[in-house]
Amino acid sequence: MGCMAIEQSYVLAIGTKKGLWLATSQDRQTWSMSGPHFLMSEVPSIGIDTRNGRTRIMVGVRSEHWGPTVAHSDDLGATWTEPEQGAIKFPDGTDAAVERIWQIYPDADSRPGVVWAGAEPISVWKSTDGGEHFELNRGLWDHPHRSEWGAGYGGAAAHSIVVNPSGDDVHIAMSTGGVYRSLDGGSSWEPRNKGISAYFMPDPNPEFGQCVHKIAADAAVEGRLYAQNHHGVYRTDDNGENWESIAEGLPADFGFVMLTHPRRAGTAWVIPLKADGERIPPDGKLAVHRTDDAGKTWKRLDSGLPQGEYNAVLRDAASVDSAEPVGVYFGTRGGSVYASPDEGEHFTEVASHLPDVLCVRAAVVSAALVPGAPVPA
């Protein structure tokens, strides 16, 4: 009689206001934690890159005293490397300094060395060496609209980057500036916000200036993206040319999170908050909502979640993994982290009482990387 070999494990990286925690699991229900790494520095961005035959965790770290930097680990956090000259820094002549790295986004498998980053002040960056050095995207930095982009409450940043794995389309979102699209791999950018409301502006339907909180692409339908706006949940089926509301059926149209399924068409998750002025789960009852029909209908998912929760979930404090079924993960500003091994149907608590959770990212990794994991015979 043989024993079943567990060949894959799961890693969940949790970036908080005061450091990074790493959790590993074989079943996505029981987790082992390490940390804090980078104690007393906030970790608002994480990218887990499983391309190139390795698992590289990249983190945007920011110390209130010592500033921002990017570090990476190829051994699940046992050691960290920080490029001597800094991975992300504004070039001479820009008279700008990086305040915070908001997004680290590994590109598609077809572009194995490419990693994108979004930062504050509003800027997009691209690395071709696996996230060790990034170059400023001049097309966006020199954009004539830049002086008119404003700062959201959390700061003025490019916080979402979505890349078409089979083409040169890149969509970004910024608070506040809205969605911009490039069709040439990032050389030039145009606003694409038609249909997205900016109710807080004198003209509620401007060309740009929307406060889009998060965008995500449908992995299976070319040209389809979803957006969680500052009030408003939207979908586009024509690569951003037109957006239409898909908020009907949700308890609230405010929130920060937008996740999509890594393979299946029409599946997305949001975590609604009551309103701009009341940033708590509706009625204090924490729930994830999932659509499986591209936003026509939504299903409330709260099994295992506390029904008495008054903390918000921030835009990058949620993630999916690539397993089957897909795992869904999120953390709250109250320091609780939840994981679902079944696309949100059931959640278990991974951690509680951590500092404010700013970012979570999850990945399927080789069991050989995880200490204590059963090693295949």
The answer to whether 139 contacts other proteins (rule: CB under 8 A) is no
Q: Are 55 and 63 within 8 A, CB to CB?
A: no
Q: Which is nearer to other proteins, 98 or 362 (CB)?
A: 98
Q: Are 60 and 100 within 8 A, CB to CB?
A: yes
Site for other proteins in 254-293 (CB under 8 A): none
3-state secondary structure of 4: coil
CB of 294 to other proteins, least distance (A): 42
CA distance 130 to 47: 11
Q: Are 45 and 59 within 8 A, CB to CB?
A: yes
Q: Give residue 287's Cα distance to chain centre.
A: 18
CA distance 196 to 10: 36
CB of 67 to other proteins, least distance (A): 5
Q: Which is nearer to other proteins, 45 or 348 (CB)?
A: 45
**Core vs surface per residue 328-358: b (16+ CB within 10 A) or e:** bbbbbbbbbbbbbbebbeebbebbeebbbbb
CB of 89 to other proteins, least distance (A): 4
* Interaction pattern, residues 66-105, with other proteins; x per rule: CB under 8 A: xx-x------------x-xxx--xx----xxxx-------
CB of 70 to other proteins, least distance (A): 11
Q: Which is nearer to other proteins, 69 or 193 (CB)?
A: 69
Q: Which is nearer to other proteins, 67 or 185 (CB)?
A: 67
CB of 61 to other proteins, least distance (A): 11
Site for other proteins in 31-70 (CB under 8 A): 40, 63-67, 69
Q: Which is nearer to other proteins, 18 or 194 (CB)?
A: 18
**The two structure tokens encoding residue 51:** 């391309």
Number of neighbours of residue 45 by Cβ within 10 angstroms: 28
Q: Which is nearer to other proteins, 24 or 41 (CB)?
A: 41
Q: Which is nearer to other proteins, 95 or 203 (CB)?
A: 95
Q: Count of residues binding other proteins (CB under 8 A)?
A: 17
Sequence-distant (≥ 6) Cβ neighbours of residue 271 within 8 angstroms: 255, 256, 257, 281, 286, 287, 288, 289, 313, 318, 330
Residues in contact with other proteins by CB under 8 A are 40, 63-67, 69, 82, 84-86, 89-90, 95-98
